[in-house]
Structure 1
Amino acid sequence: MDQGTPPTRRSRTARGRTPAAAALTALTLAVTAGCTSSGSPVEHRPGTARKPSPTPTSHWNPRPASIAAVGDSITRGFDACMVLADCPEASWATGSDSGVRSLATRLLGPASAAARSWNYARTGARMSDLPAQLTRAAAHRPELVTVMVGGNDACRDSVDGMTSVADFRSGFERSLRQLRAGLPRTQVYVSSVPDLKRLWSQGRGNALGKQIWKLGICQSMLSDADDLGPAAAERRDAVYARVVAYNKALKDVCAKDRYCRYDGGAVFDYRFTGDQLSHWDWFHPSKDGQERLAEIAYRNVTAARPPA
């Protein structure tokens, strides 16, 4: 109150208010406070805090304007078009094939996808190759980077040759730190590693595929494809367990990054059929399988909230 301003006197109405009128006023205020603007009562238990209304995450942009892809043979479309060859136009992430309708095509449209998407995945790549791929991708300053890596860390000549879980985790942590140094707000969509054991189970019924497997594809899982003995089962179970551990590492590391979204295990859980596997090696996704991967990615990238 400013100096020189006389104290405000209580009005005669206030001085003359009767106890009954005061009680009626208090009751009216209590009823009004207990209603919403529409007049509906609001239940609130004494001694409990009101929970704020949930709001969608505002930092994730479901419509990025440019996309770069990193990873391994699946993102390069290996064996999707011809035997033992890359087919990047069929890539789930950035491909131009109209039958696949890649993530880039779905988000940007065909014309913009051709100009605003880049694929730096490499067949045979492992987690240790991710930093170099991200360096190339970061040069374009993409708004979204897709990551699918880990299959080759488990697909080695033997179980003993698989990348350790500790090295896999630290490699992913290092890769994200490197990306954040130059692109602190670029979004990262991380695909889970596919279930290699399920792919073996689905593909081993094809005689041609098993002959291609003998050329050296994922021997830790696919070697002696028809051997169902204890030693072979133990070997395949070890590969399966390593993939599960890799996916946990991807999930945990991604969860610590505000602009990283893991697919919730959607690719690992997906049950590829014969139509969705390459009809040359019966292990990598066919164009049909690549389309399914694009669908999964698009659903997760455009969702208001990340997968559980």
Structure 2
Amino acid sequence: MSRASQARRIAVAAAYGGGAVGAAGMILLGVLVGEARLARRTVGEPTTEPPVADGLYGPERACSGAGPDPITLALLGDSGAAGFGVDRPAETPGALLAAGLSEVADRPVRLVNTAKVGARSADLLGQVTAALEHSPDLAVIMIGANDVTHRVRPVNSVRQLSEAVRRLRADGVEVVVGTCPDLGTIEPIAQPLRLVARRWSRAMAAAQTIAVVKAGARSVSLGDLLGPEFAAQPRVMFSADRFHPSASGYARVASVVLPSMAAALGLGPADRARPALETEEGVSSLAAAAVQAVEEPGTEVSGTEVGGQETGPRGRWVVLEHRIRRFTRRPAGPQVEQPVR
């Protein structure tokens, strides 16, 4: 079975409530979990909470109420979204994304982070409920790693993510999802089981992409985004536990997610409205795009139309884009604290 077929099968099963992981797959996943437990002993259980970075970001005059109304950004997901592994609020992905979006939009941005360390896809609906209390304009979700290491069936994880996205979209919230990272880049997981971790996390990411785009959102592949940098500079890109990103690692993640956030809100010269497409050139079927995105970290997948139609012989039409925005400076901390955790 091709990877595109596997991703499509998981996504379809999630949509229709069926599907099961084969016996051989469960054995492999069980072995992965055993190795993950050994890795967790090496990493250690979290003993602290990530820094709280909720609040207003942007020029001081704008944040004082003299400028336009702020954009409200909600961040949901697991420890990667919460910013575990860094010491200062300004180093968290939430602060980086809020400050970056404020710069692109030339407006203040209010950050509301409902992400939790250890969260799985099943926890997303509760986080969505908390986020919707703040009427967000845009939500960013980063989830999936804990589902893989805790033996959650991919069809269940993908269904739960899809439900969260659809609930946000039903409230008019734009959504960008950073898909499951490649666990094969995590050093405390030993070989050859690291290859199993890579296989399962990439399958999860591809299935997430299909479900997310069908639900009306954009996906951004995180994949092994930190892999090459980790191999070259392990003490720079990852935090002390060798599991969670460092401040530099989070900046790398934010640099590929931010352009898709701007695009979702129609901001920035690089994110101008796409021209109407009359042919298939430059677009792809969703399943094929999902697999390609996993292989190329930082790739955005979003729906499009060809000749006025959303679907073709191979299913949903999508566009793949690879964009990055480098951060030239660290953001200041939030000017107004609004902790929600």
Q: Which has the larger radius of gyration?
A: 1
Structure 1 residues 224-239: aligned runs within 5 Å: 225=190, 228=191, 233=192, 235-239=193-197
> Following the alignment from structure 2 to structure 1, what is the Cα–Cα distance between the partners of residues 116 and 222?
22
- Alignment match, 1:137: 131
Contact 1:135 1:179 in 2 (8 A): no
1:118-158: CA deviations, max 9, x gaps? 110000000000000011011111111000001111223xx
> Following the alignment from structure 2 to structure 1, what is the Cα–Cα distance between the partners of residues 78 and 128?
13
The unaligned stretches of length 5 or more in structure 1 are: 1-63, 82-86, 96-101, 157-161, 205-221
1:261 paired to 2:221 = no
Write the letter of the residue equivalent to 2:175.
Answer: V
4+ residue segments displaced more than 4 Å = none
Structure 1 residues 58-97: aligned runs within 5 Å: 65-81=71-87, 88-92=89-93, 94-95=94-95
- TM-score, normalised to structure 2's length? 0.52
Q: 1:178 to 1:299 in 2, by over 3 A?
A: closer
Write the letter of the residue equivalent to 1:248.
Answer: A
Paired residues, number: 192
Write the letter of the residue equivalent to 1:154.
Answer: V
3-state SS in 2 of match to 1:283: coil
Could you tell me which of 117, 120, 126 is aligned with 2:114?
A: 120
- Alignment match, 2:182: 195
> Following the alignment from structure 1 to structure 2, what is the Cα–Cα distance between the partners of residues 171 and 268?
24
Could you tell me which of 259, 263, 266 is aligned with 1:299?
A: 259
> Following the alignment from structure 1 to structure 2, what is the Cα–Cα distance between the partners of residues 179 and 300?
17
The unaligned stretches of length 5 or more in structure 2 are: 1-69, 264-270, 275-299, 302-319, 321-341
Write the letter of the residue equivalent to 1:250.
Answer: Q
- Alignment match, 1:149: 143
1:248 paired to 2:237 = no
- Alignment match, 1:287: 247
Q: CA deviation at 1:256?
A: 1.3
3-state SS in 1 of match to 2:79: coil
3-state SS in 2 of match to 1:141: coil
1:28-71: CA deviations, max 9, x gaps? xxxxxxxxxxxxxxxxxxxxxxxxxxxxxxxxxxxx92200000
Q: CA deviation at 1:269?
A: 4.0
Q: 1:177 to 1:89 in 2, by over 3 A?
A: same
3-state SS in 1 of match to 2:254: helix
Q: CA deviation at 1:78?
A: 0.9
Q: CA deviation at 1:266?
A: 4.0
> Following the alignment from structure 1 to structure 2, what is the Cα–Cα distance between the partners of residues 291 and 125?
21
- Alignment match, 2:8: none
> Following the alignment from structure 2 to structure 1, what is the Cα–Cα distance between the partners of residues 120 and 90?
22
Q: 1:155 to 1:73 in 2, by over 3 A?
A: same
Write the letter of the residue equivalent to 1:153.
Answer: D
> Following the alignment from structure 1 to structure 2, what is the Cα–Cα distance between the partners of residues 89 and 74?
15
Q: CA deviation at 1:88?
A: 4.9
Contact 1:149 1:193 in 2 (8 A): yes
Q: 1:245 to 1:194 in 2, by over 3 A?
A: same
Root mean square deviation of aligned Cα? 2.3
Q: CA deviation at 1:236?
A: 2.9
Could you tell me which of 150, 173, 179 is aligned with 1:186?
A: 173
Contact 1:68 1:142 in 2 (8 A): yes
- TM-score, normalised to structure 1's length? 0.57
> Following the alignment from structure 2 to structure 1, what is the Cα–Cα distance between the partners of residues 90 and 123?
22
Q: CA deviation at 1:237?
A: 2.8
Contact 1:192 1:268 in 2 (8 A): no
3-state SS in 2 of match to 1:169: helix
- Alignment match, 1:276: 237
> Following the alignment from structure 1 to structure 2, what is the Cα–Cα distance between the partners of residues 174 and 300?
21
